[in-house]
Amino acid sequence: MTLFGLHIQIALIYFVYGLAFFSMGLVMALESRRSPLLAEAHALRPLAFFGLVHGAHEWLEMILMQPAAFGLTASAALEWVRLILLISSFFALVLFSLRILRPGQEQLNLNSYTALGLLVLYVLMVAFTVLSHDEVFPIWLLHADAWARYLLAIPGAALAALALERQARGDLARARPDLAGDLRLAAWGFGFYGATQLFVAPQRLLLAHFLNTATFYMVAGFPIQLLRAVLAVVITVGLFRAAQAAERERQRQLFAARRARIEALEQLQRESVEREALRKQLLGHIVTAQEEERARIARELHDETAQSLAALSLNLATLQQNLPNWPGVDRQIAQSLRLSKEISTRIYHMIRDLRPAQLDDLGLVPALQYLIDEGRERKDLEVKLSVEGPPKRLDTLVETVIFRVAQEALANVSRHSGAERAAMCLRFDPGRVVLQVSDEGVGFDPDASLTPPRGWGLAGMRERAASVGGYLQVLSSPGAGTRVQVEIPSNDLPNRGNQNSAEELVDGDHSLNVG
């Protein structure tokens, strides 16, 4: 083979050599911008720098073989640039290794400490030999390449192999065998690549007189650069596959995180539905318990207190008739009779307010009529009631909720609206019942007025409606009046013996008007 052909082959080897490391640098630079799985970003950046700069160094060596072919002239400046690229690249490789192997990140085992100790001894030995050589100062520029390989390249590659092997063991422990295998391939590549750095240009320095590029070519039949290029490709392939494995692991973790998030959201949704169902059950239970307690108190007032007051009134009347005509005593008895009558009247109204008998005995429509009559007598509020659809008995809890909503709505009209008239509409639709209470009073802003304690009444109506699966809507604005509407699902109940009493209150077109 001619010298020109050999130069062409070596130039091609240098090109592939530099391309492999430059590609590895690009891959590591991209990997350092992702979530740390292959290694921490601050550790991958020096490795990326090594690949980019060392690839540029090999391309510069290719150019320096035939500078004229690239339009350049060989000069000491280019040699300086090449040397700086070589030293800085291997220094970055050492920095990468030390950042992976640094104490405090993970405890180093005995073998790691032994290897590090041997490397330190090796560097000290090379430094001592170089500094004690008689020709160091006169020809230091000629030997700089060899010194850089002995002092930085060989230790840096060995440390890199140790660091990647350690990363591989960690990935095996984390059940990531693909990633561990690729890192181990790169580690072996760096290990052998460091061994090839023993072969430097022939010179009188250390082992360079025997182990040099010329003797390697004579023995192997091919230049050492070819072996280094192959090892560079092996390192690049290993790290590239490791980056791909890390990306697959990231995608798997992302998918698992998304799936866990979806499952958590679904669990939260299920819990929310369960809590909402439990809340409705609790509200229904509270409403039922409240009404039962109201009914119990009303019965006690009616059966005990009212009867006792009636007996007291009879005793006072009998005493008034049988006592002699004593003006002072007769006047006190008359006052006691009036007071007893007033107390009886108040207790009667209290009983009706607690639990009107019409609601249990006659149904919803008579109970609403009673409520309207009470409002006319006690609060001077005229209410027009209209009933749409055939009146029917509903579930006791549903009837109670509608009655209480109507009671609270009329109370709000009397207290806050400033209106003297109101309208109430009760509509029986298939599968639902709707109650509307409206007035033409001063109105209000529902959003601004529902902040407790001002909005407890409306909030209570909403909760009552929600307890039986219904909802309440409040439409109002300042100066435009107010309309309260509650809609509740209903299941028709069989006639409970009092349907005729309710229907007697309704005319032929199913509408009832009470002025």
The amino acid present at 121, given as its one-letter code, is L
From CA 469, how far away is CA 34, in angstroms rounded?
51
**Residue predicted with more confidence, 234 or 391:** 234
Task: For residues 50 and 116, state if they share a domain.
Answer: no
For residue 492, tell me if it sits in a domain.
yes
Task: For residues 91 and 125, state if they share a domain.
Answer: no
Q: What is the CATH number of the domain that holds 425?
A: 3.30.565.10
From CA 73, how far away is CA 334, in angstroms rounded?
136
- Give me the mean pLDDT over the 490-500 stretch: 50
Q: Which of 160, 188, 222 is the last residue of a domain?
A: 222
From CA 149, how far away is CA 199, in angstroms rounded?
9
Task: For residues 77 and 114, state if they share a domain.
Answer: no
In the DSSP assignment, the letter for residue 38 is S
- Give me the mean pLDDT over the 306-311 stretch: 72
Task: For residues 137 and 171, state if they share a domain.
Answer: yes
**Do 437 and 410 meet the contact criterion of CB atoms below 8 Å apart?**
yes
- Give me the mean pLDDT over the 339-344 stretch: 78
The token pair at 117 is: 């100790």
* Residue 375, pLDDT above cutoff 60: yes
The answer, yes or no, to whether the previous bond of 327 is cis (omega within 30 of 0) is: no
Where is average pLDDT lowest: 49-63, 178-192, 354-368?
Answer: 354-368
Q: What is the domain range of residue 197?
A: 110-222
Question: How many residues are recorded in the chain?
Answer: 515
Task: For residues 7 and 64, state if they share a domain.
Answer: yes
**Mean confidence (pLDDT) of the chain:** 78
From CA 244, how far away is CA 237, in angstroms rounded?
10
Task: For residues 135 and 73, state if they share a domain.
Answer: no
Task: For residues 132 and 33, state if they share a domain.
Answer: no
Q: Which of 105, 137, 168 is the last residue of a domain?
A: 105
Q: What is the pLDDT of residues 250-303, one digit of tens each?
A: 888 889 999 999 999 999 998 888 887 777 777 767 777 776 777 777 676 666
Q: Is the pTM of this model over 0.85?
A: no
For residue 344, tell me if it sits in a domain.
no
Task: For residues 451 and 496, state if they share a domain.
Answer: yes
pLDDT band at 161 (very low <50, low <70, confident <90, very high): very high
Q: What is the pLDDT of residues 100-129, one digit of tens each?
A: 887 544 444 545 555 555 555 555 555 555
Where is average pLDDT lowest: 87-96, 205-214, 345-354?
Answer: 345-354
- Count of domains forming the chain: 3
β-sheet with 382-388: strand ranges across? 382-388, 421-429, 432-439, 482-489, 471-476
The token pair at 394 is: 């509903």
For residue 246, tell me if it sits in a domain.
no
| Burial class of residue 26 (count of CB atoms within 10 Å of its CB; 0-12, 13-18, 19+) | middle
**Do 234 and 189 meet the contact criterion of CB atoms below 8 Å apart?**
yes
Q: What is the pLDDT of residues 36-45, one digit of tens each?
A: 777 777 788 8
Instruction: Report the candidate in 248, 149, 143 with the shortest Cα–Cα distance to residue 204.
Output: 143
pLDDT band at 78 (very low <50, low <70, confident <90, very high): confident
Task: For residues 92 and 117, state if they share a domain.
Answer: no
Lookup result for tokens 């055939």: 390
In the DSSP assignment, the letter for residue 204 is S
For residue 401, tell me if it sits in a domain.
yes
Q: What is the model's pLDDT at position 24? A: 93
- Give me the mean pLDDT over the 440-444 stretch: 84
For residue 289, tell me if it sits in a domain.
no
Q: Which residues contact residue 50 at a Cβ distance below 8 angstroms, ignoring those fewer than 6 apart?
A: 21, 25, 89, 90, 92, 93, 96
pLDDT band at 327 (very low <50, low <70, confident <90, very high): low
For residue 254, tell me if it sits in a domain.
no
Q: What is the model's pLDDT at position 6? A: 62
Which helix (DSSP H) or strand (DSSP E) does residue 336 occupy?
helix 327-354
How open is the CA angle 44-46-47, to the nearest 5 degrees? 60
**Do 100 and 167 meet the contact criterion of CB atoms below 8 Å apart?**
yes
Where is average pLDDT lowest: 86-100, 147-161, 450-464?
Answer: 450-464
Task: Kindly report the three-state secondary structure assignment for every residue of 206-245.
Answer: CCCCCCEHHHHHHHHCCCHHHHHHHHHHHHHHHHHHHHHH
Give rounded-to-5 percent helix, strand, coil for the chain.
70, 10, 20
The token pair at 174 is: 């984390």
